Amino acid sequence: MDTDRLRGILENIREGNKTVEEALKDLKHLPFEDLGFAKVDHHRELRNGYPEVIYCRGKALAHIQSIVKHMLAKGNRNILATLAEKEIYEAIRAISPEAEYHEIAKIVVVKRQEIAVTDRSILVVTGGTSDLAVAEEAAITAEVLGNPVERLYDVGVAGIHRLLANTRALDQANVIIAVAGMEGALPSVVGGLVDKPVIAVPTSVGYGANFGGLSALLTMLNSCASGIAVVNIDNGFGAGYMASIINQLK
């Protein structure tokens, strides 16, 4: 963000090259961004290793490549590309050979500097094995954003004992991401066991009256446990990002 044009105006006043009235008129037409309001707080963006993000769905390969080139040229921030099919990974690797691919999560990471990692961890739990892709999108996102991540998969409510056998994992986490499709009841059970923030992610896994994840979404919104908030259906990235912001509060 550069304030050069603003500074120029002010110096012109000081040096008597501009009257106050002229300056007022200039200010009125100064691009908003130059005034420094663009981002209220951007502490996190200044942290070591904090990545730039590309949302890949619906973007052409060439378009993604040009975005990546632009980012590489600008500096050495890491890059996190989400919803990236394999050919997107290959297109990015063609430009930036250090690109790594997380296949299940469909995430590409270009790591150009070390990521500063917090000491408190995030736990990702899932109801079934079919929620894996969304869960991994959340987990990898949180890791790339600088959080230690634990995983506890396939502990859905229809076999509640698997969850209860692992309460120590719940105890040790700082923030929990609970991913579930079908009836989506897992976050409620987890929220009833712990007193920490639970980010609930409905998945579109299921069939019949599942309606593309609507059933799990409504279940989570209507949870009678406290300390739960919900992100969009299948939005693993959003959950990982939200959990990271919470986990990194100073």
Identify which of residues 43 and 86 has a Cβ nearer to a second copy in the complex.
43
Contacts of 213 (CB under 8 A, 6+ apart): 181, 202, 203, 204, 205, 206, 233, 234
* Nearest approach, Cβ of residue 148 and a second copy (Å): 15
Binding segment for a second copy (CB under 8 A), chosen from 84-92, 93-101, 110-118, 151-159, is 151-159
Does 153 bind a second copy (CB under 8 A)? Our answer is no
Distance CA 14, CA 234 (A): 56
State how far the alpha carbon of 108 is from the alpha carbons of 70, 79, 117, 150, in Å: 16, 8, 19, 20
Do 129 and 154 contact (CB within 8 A), yes or no? Answer: yes
In the window 164-193, what residues touch a second copy (CB under 8 A)? 164-168, 170-171, 174-175, 182-185, 188-189, 191-193
Do 174 and 204 contact (CB within 8 A), yes or no? Answer: no
Closest-CA residue to 151 (of 109, 185, 104): 104
In the window 66-95, what residues touch a second copy (CB under 8 A)? none
Interface with a second copy (CB under 8 A), residue from 35, 48, 86, 94: 35
Find tokens 């409620």 and name the residue: 188
Please give the angle made by the CA atoms of 194, 195 and 198, to the nearest 5 degrees: 75
Interface with a second copy (CB under 8 A), residue from 2, 5, 20, 78: 20
Amino acid at 236: G
How many residues of this chain bind a second copy (CB under 8 A)? 111
Identify which of residues 97 and 208 has a Cβ nearer to a second copy in the complex.
208
Identify which of residues 94 and 221 has a Cβ nearer to a second copy in the complex.
221
- Three-state secondary-structure class, residue 157: helix
User: What is the gyration radius of the CA atoms in the chain, in angstroms?
Assistant: 22
Query: Which tokens go with 126?
Result: 């899932």
Does 103 bind a second copy (CB under 8 A)? Our answer is no
Binding segment for a second copy (CB under 8 A), chosen from 71-79, 84-92, 93-101, 209-217, is 209-217
Interface with a second copy (CB under 8 A), residue from 62, 73, 76, 226: 226
Interface with a second copy (CB under 8 A), residue from 2, 31, 75, 97: 31
Does 135 bind a second copy (CB under 8 A)? Our answer is no
Distance CA 6, CA 123 (A): 46
Interface with a second copy (CB under 8 A), residue from 43, 69, 70, 86: 43
Does 233 bind a second copy (CB under 8 A)? Our answer is yes
Residue 115 is classified by DSSP as P
